[in-house]
Structure 1
Amino acid sequence: MPPQTYESYSISSISALASSFPSLNPYYLSLVFVAFAILVGVLGRSLPSCLMKSLDEEVQQATVLYNQAMSGRFLVNSEEHELSEELLKLDTQARQLRKRALALTPRILLRSFQQIHALFNGHSFEIWMCIHRIRALRNKMQLLIESKKDDFSSTLPDGIPPSRQLWLRHRLGESIRI
C-alpha cells in the first residue's frame, strides 16, 4: 500500500466521517473540516505569541530590577554573580523560545491534529515555565533589595535629613559591597 499524502488522508477521513453521517452533505462537512483546521492553526500561532509578549515583559522587568539593585549597590558580589548568571540563563532561554515561536509557520495546517496539539501545548508550557522562573527571580531580587534597604535604614540614627540619609545609604552600600 503506497504511503498516504496529506490530501489523500484528509479526503479519506472526510469520506469516512461523511459515511458516519449519511444525512450530512460531504461538501459542508469538508468546509467544517477546513474551518476547524484553520482555527487550530490560528490558535497554534496566537497563544504562543501572546505568551511571548508576556515573557518579553517579564524579562524586561527583571532586567530593570537587576539594574536597580546594581545601581543602588544592594547586592554583595556573590549575590550579584548568582543573579546575573540566572538572569542571563533565563534571557537566553527566552530568546530560544522566541525563535521557536517564530518558526511556527502557517504550514502548521499541514500537520496532523495530534502533532499540532503536542507542539501547541509543549511550546506554550515551556514559555509559561520560563515566565514562572523569571517571576521567581524577580521576587528573589526584590526580597534581597528590601532586606538590604532595611539593613541600611536600621544602621542610620534618627534625625538625619533625607538627603544625607540617601548619601549615607549609598556609602554604606559601597562599604558592604567591598
Structure 2
Amino acid sequence: MAATPSTAETTLSVQASKQSAEPAPERFPLVGPPAYLGFGLPHQPEAAIIARRQAYGALARWGVGGASAHDVVLVLSELVANAAEHALPYIYVSMGFRTQGGARSVLIEVEDGGPRKRTPDRSPPVPAAGEHGRGLVIVGALASASGVECRATHQLRWAEVATP
C-alpha cells in the first residue's frame, strides 16, 4: 500500500512546483526549449528532496539520463542540503543544460542568504563518521568545475557536471 503524503510534504511540493517564468540568464545558453530551470525552495531539510524531484524531471526533458542524471542530482542535492543546513534563508536553484564544442554539461547554481554567523562555542564538532561533512567533497569529485561567490547579501555555490 502506498503511503499518503503528509500535509507538510504536499505543501512543500506545491511551493517547489512554482517555477520561474523568467528567461534563462546569459550564463545558461539555451540548446533547445526548455533548457533552463529555476525554482525556489523552502529553507528546510526537505528542500533536497524537492530539488531532486524537480531535477529528474528537467533532466529527462533535456535527454540526460542514466549515471549522468544521477551525478547531476547528487551534486544538486548536496549543494541544496548544504544551503538548508548552513546558510540563512532563502534557497533558489538554477539549472541549465548546455553544449560547448560538442561537450554536454549541466550547470547548477544554488543561491542562499549567505553563511550563518556562528561563534566558536556554538559550532558543532565535525563528526569523524556519520552522514555529515562530505557534501563538498562529493561535489568536487563529480563536478568538472565548481566554486562559490560570496556577496554582501547572499552566497552562490555552483557546479558544472559533464553529461556525456
* TM-score, normalising length: structure 2: 0.24
Structure of higher CA gyration radius: 1
TM-score, structure 1 as length reference: 0.23
Between Structure 1 and Structure 2, which shows a larger proportion of strand residues? 2
Q: Which has the higher helix share?
A: 1
